[in-house]
Amino acid sequence: MDPVDLCAELIRFDTTNWGEGKSEGEREAAEYLAGLLTSAGYEPVILGPTPERASTVVRVPGLDRTLPALLIHAHLDVVPAEPAQWSLDPFAGEIRDGYVWGRGASDMKDMVAMTFSTLLRWAEDGVRPRRDVVVAFVADEEDKGEYGALWLAAEHPELFDGVEAAIGESGGVAQFLTAEDGSEVRLYPVAAAERGTLHMRLTATGTSGHGSRPNPDNAVTHLIGALHRVSEYAWPIVLTPTVRAYLQQTTAALGFPADLTTDAGVEAAVDRLGDAGTVARTTIRCSATPTVLDAGYKVNVIPGTASADLDVRCLPGTEEETLAVIDGLLGGRVTRTFLSHQPPVQAPVDSHWFDAMKAALLRHDPAAVVVPRCMGGGTDAKAFAPLGIDCYGFSPQGADPEGRTSDGVHGVDERVPVESLRSGQRILQDFLEQV
């Protein structure tokens, strides 16, 4: 089955995830995939904490079952779309002008389709991969994963027995850059790390009273003071192995020197990288961003409590230190509780897994510059890494010959180039057969 038709078909299943457990559900999409897999001779299972929130998992037995297995995970849910802002129906799955259009086209029903058509091709041609390949099409990535990857990892860890490495969202897609000498560089970053997600609720308590009689123990004031200190804090530069490798290899490919021994040198390198510096900029330090505020109910009443949500992201190896810094900044009048606590992820860059991804990209594009990168946010890798799995972001796509690129992720008119989907499927299949 052509990954292009399949991607369009998958878009027609509205799997909108509104967050906090509110969702259109992934069940129909999961059943559709499981049905086709069963017809092709596989033995998929559909699992989930509720009937609506379903994931499809299948293990493809490898030729050598003593080899460590590989997991491919891709999510079935999508973020909401506002149809009025789109130039077409976000759930129609239209194919035109060289693109597949619709919500999920590039996040990440494209990867679901590429993986799925590889499985169908294997079944048709009687091909088996060298090692066991476990495929998980999961629910709920666009929220916390509690109905998808996290639930599967907690309730059905046996599905992932023998899995040593995983590939998933974000990585292996060509980025076009211009080198110092004017030549074109095609950079293919592969995710090998993610900052941790430490979402927390801050609560200040004080003495409530009449607004006309100010008192020094005001919860709102305590909270504002803490948020101000957190916002003003200058997080130091920390170069993790992945980010260091990214900066070294990318600056070398673009042909300019980088001095990574000083903060100023790191900042200068990131600036000079231009577009390639965007992700690097968020991964050379930790961050803490206030996002939600909640206090008070009447202008003349001092409330007894005030709260705020803080989105903290910490680099691999810095979690304890980051929390200690936050606690110091909050001071004695503000407490914190976790809304979500997902430690950072880091997989080795010098591994045969990484080498195999690089080799597959180079077979497709001999001029490819394949570099490891750290993600600023997070994916379902955070759910699978605690099972002892080395998680990489690798959803490969080749360049569109006419220069089209994926666009509209989490925004309007989301689309993926038809040719990138087709070449991506070939790169993925090649990688899975060689690794």
Binding site for Zn ion (CB under 5 A): 107-108
For the bound state, the minimum distance from the C-beta of residue 170 to Zn ion, rounded and expressed in Å, comes to: 8
Question: Nearer Cβ to Zn ion, position 69 or 108?
Answer: 108
* Shortest spacing between CB 414 and Zn ion, in angstroms: 11
| Cβ nearer to Zn ion, comparing 108 with 159 | 108
Q: Which is nearer to Zn ion, 73 or 285 (CB)?
A: 73
Which residue's Cβ lies closest to Zn ion? 107
> Looking at beta carbons only, is 107 or 414 nearer to Zn ion?
107
Q: Which long-range contacts (CB under 8 A, 24 or more apart) does 297-301 make?
A: 299/211, 300/210, 300/211, 300/212, 301/208, 301/209, 301/210, 301/211
Question: Minimum distance between the CB of residue 78 and Zn ion, rounded to whole angstroms?
Answer: 8
Instruction: Please say whether the beta carbons of 169 and 393 come within 8 A.
Output: yes
SS (H, E, C) the chain: CCHHHHHHHHHCCCCEEEECCEECCCHHHHHHHHHHHHHCCCCCEEECCCCCCCEEEEEECCCCCCCCEEEEEEECCECCCCHHHCCCCCCCCCEECCEEECCCCCCCHHHHHHHHHHHHHHHHHCCCCCCCEEEEEECCCCCCCCCCHHHHHHHCHHHHCCEEEEEECCECECEEEECCCCCEEEEEEEEEEECEEEEEEEEEECCCEECCCCCCCCHHHHHHHHHHHHHHCCCCCCCCHHHHHHHHHHHHHHCCCCCCCCHHHHHHHHHHCHHHHHHHHHCCCCEEEEEEEEECCCCCEECCEEEEEEEEEECCCCHHHHHHHHHHHHCCCEEEEEEEEECCEECCCCCHHHHHHHHHHHHHCCCCEEEEEEECCCCCHHHHHHHCCEEEECCCECCCCCCCCCECCCCCCCEEEHHHHHHHHHHHHHHHHHC
Phi-psi region of 19 (alpha: psi -120 to 50; beta: other; left: phi over 0): left
List, in order, residues 6 or more apart from 153 with CB less than 8 Å away.
Answer: 160, 383, 384, 386, 387
Question: Closest separation between CB of residue 177 and Zn ion, Å?
Answer: 24
Nearest CB to Zn ion, comparing residues 107 and 319? 107
- To Zn ion, the closest distance from the beta carbon of 149 in angstroms equals 11
C-beta closer to Zn ion: residue 107 or 132: 107
Output the smallest distance, CB 379 to Zn ion, in A.
7
Least spacing, CB of residue 65 vs Zn ion, in Å: 31
Tell the residue number behind the tokens 């040593």, with chain if given: 164
Nearer to Zn ion, 143 or 319 (CB): 143
- Residue 17 or residue 117: which is nearer to Zn ion going by CB? 17
Tokens (6 digits) for 63: 């030729």
Q: Which is nearer to Zn ion, 108 or 258 (CB)?
A: 108
CB 377 → Zn ion: shortest distance, Å? Answer: 10
Looking at the Cβ atoms of 378 and 417, the one nearer to Zn ion is 378
How near is the Cβ of 168 to Zn ion at its closest, in Å?
Answer: 9
Shorter beta-carbon distance to Zn ion: residue 206 or 424: 424
The CB-of-109 to Zn ion minimum distance in angstroms stands at 10
Cβ of residue 51: shortest distance to Zn ion, in angstroms?
A: 23
